[in-house]
Amino acid sequence: MNDPIQNRVRTAVSAALDKKAFDLDVLAVSELTSIADYFVLCSANTERQTQAIADGILEKLRKDEGVKPLLVEGAMPGRWILLDFGDFIFHIFTEDCRRYYGLERLWGDAPNVTPEFTGEAEAPRNARRKKTSRS
């Protein structure tokens, strides 16, 4: 796949999974809104982990793709960090914050294209619904 937007999304997804993000979803929103082509959502166990995931994504996109975000919101306290790269927006949530805002429900008409960006026929287990002892 040579599409530069999809390559950047793939790089960001890989960076998030490297930092142990879970419950990762890539939604194709281009037919529903003009603000982005993709929304990427993932969860983390703690605010510290959301910050580590965001830092990992920012570093990998800068290093591998030469890309910086247009906007970063919510880094403090880190319950919901939004990284806006223009063509895609990456949302990193703590579990309770993600449940509360329910972006999947708001964008329910958007196709979930996660497998296209994880390199799996089906999203890998560590990217999907991971249950923790705190759940």
**Quick check: 134 pLDDT over 50?**
no
22-31, 55-64, 94-103, 113-122: least confident range? 113-122
Going through the chain in order, the beta strands assigned E by DSSP cover 22-28, 38-44, 71-73, 80-84, 88-94
**Quick check: 130 pLDDT over 70?**
no
Cα separations (Å) of 37 from 21, 23, 52, 72, 94? 21, 20, 25, 18, 24
The domain segmentation of the chain, as residue ranges, is 4-116
Number of residues written out for the chain:
135
pLDDT above 70 covers a percentage of the chain that reads 87
Quickly tell me which residue has 């914050």 as its tokens.
97
**Quick check: 7 pLDDT over 70?**
yes
Q: Which CATH number fits domain 4-116: 3.90.1150.10, 3.20.20.150, 3.30.460.10, 3.20.20.70?
A: 3.30.460.10
Give the residue with greater pLDDT, 85 vs 3.
85
Mean pLDDT, the chain, integer: 88
- pLDDT tens for 59-83 read 999 999 999 999 999 988 889 999 9
The predicted pLDDT at position 120 comes to: 63
